[in-house]
Structures are given as C-alpha cells and as structure tokens.
A = this chain, B = another copy of it.
Amino acid sequence: MPSSEFHTDPAPLYLKTKQMIINKIQSGEWYYNFKIPSEAELVKHLSISRMTINRAMRELMSEGYLIRIQGVGSFVAKQKGQSALFKVENIADEIQQRGRSHSSQVIIMETIDLNDAESSIKRLDFQQGTPIYHSLIVHYEDKIPVQIEERYVNAEIVPEYILQDFTKQTPNKYLNHVAPATEGEHIVEAVLADKQECSLLNINPKDPCLLIYRRTWSNAIIISNTKLIYPGSRYQLKGKFGL
C-alpha cells in the first residue's frame, strides 16, 4: 500500500483509508478476529496523520467492521448479513451496500387459484376469487444462498407482476414502484427449514432459521403476502427506533 496512490486522486483520505480496510476485510486478507495494523503503523505506511487514521478506524468501529480495545489493538469484527427488521428493505440493495454481489434465481412463477381452505391455512387473506400470482425466489450473496422469498401477490392490483424478470429487479423493488405499501405486518419466528428449503439454502436440517411472514397493504387492499426464510448462521435482522 504505497502512499503514492493514496494522495493522488481527490477523495477524503479518511474515506480512502476506510475503503482500503473494508477491502482487506472483504477479500478475506484480514479475516475475523485478525489484529489489524495499529494506528501508528498505518500512519507510517500510508503517510497520513494519526487523527485521520483514527477517524477512519473509529467510524469503521461504529459501523460494525472493527472492534477496538484500548491498550490492545483493533480487530476485525464478525460479519453477518443484516437486514432492517421493520423497514421493508430490498435485499439486493442491502447486499450491495455491504460490497457483495447479489444474484437470484426464480424457482416458481405461476398463477394460482386458492380455495378457501388453502387460503386460510396459508394466512392469505385475499378476497375470495381474487386471482393470485405465486413466486418463489432464492437470493444469493456472493453465490451463497441467504434468503428464500415466497410471495403471493394480488393479481388484480399488480397484473403485470407475472411478466417481470425477477433476476433483474427484485419483487420488493418492483412492488414498491407500482404499488407502494402503506401498511404492513410482520411475524418473526425461529424454525427449522423443511427438506426443500434446506436444499435451496444449502444448509443442514438442524440449522435454525429465521422465518418472517410479511403482509402488506396499499390503502387497505392487500397487496402481497410473503414468507421469507433466512439461515440463522448467515443473517441477522436489525432495527432501530426512537429519538
């Protein structure tokens, strides 16, 4: 890491320093619990003043990348995917914000006609006789499956849902565009995945998973009913409230 490149192009030094450290972490060169160079060492190697290095590392700590212990050193923190709990985030955006690559595979995309019994059991409170689209998509983060997204969508409100290519744009993003939710409900549970789900997520049947049921309405009309499954070992949900 020669100091030359660091001082040429315009961009705050503390930002370039942060990016450099994030890159090392995401490339795996600086792995979990790795003791990264001290502030003094980075000052020397990068020819940047300590206050600037300090700011970069302090911000990385508050962003969850580093653990810093006075008198000991700075260490790479455990990295887990995180999802905003009650903010309906787009998983593709989340993954990209972490500097990873998102991809997805559409397993099912069909029109269905539920009878009342099925509708009740699956908690689909659509109006009787409403045509419904059913999709099942697996999302990957750097080729590792991190979420199964199974949706039942109100075909009357979003008739073109079934025509979309959801490897290019997530259902979340599409729906937010054509029929943004005004209300929603979440139910979160810890469960074991069934055989098909284990296979899609490439996990062990004993691995605990987060299961989220999410129903959204747009002006009191139900738009979609979603079941999301995350492997517990690869995902966290995070939320903040207040101020």
What number of A residues sit within 8 Å (CB to CB) of B?
50
Copies of this chain, tallied across the complex = 2
Bound form: Cα–Cα A184–B239 in Å: 8
Q: Say whether chain A's binding surface is mostly helix, strand, loop, or mixed.
A: strand
When the two chains form their complex, are residues B217 and A232 in contact, meaning their CB atoms are under 8 A apart?
no
Which among B62, B116, B243 is the interface contact of A182 at CB below 8 angstroms? B243
22 contacts between A and B (CB under 8 A): A62-B62, A64-B243, A68-B120, A69-B120, A79-B243, A80-B243, A86-B240, A184-B242, A185-B240, A185-B241, A186-B239, A186-B240, A187-B236, A188-B238, A188-B239, A189-B235, A189-B236, A189-B237, A190-B191, A190-B232, A208-B209, A210-B210
A80 (CB) vs chain B CBs: closest residue: B243
Bound form: Cα–Cα A102–B73 in Å: 39
Bound form: Cα–Cα A71–B234 in Å: 43
When the two chains form their complex, are residues A85 and B241 in contact, meaning their CB atoms are under 8 A apart?
yes
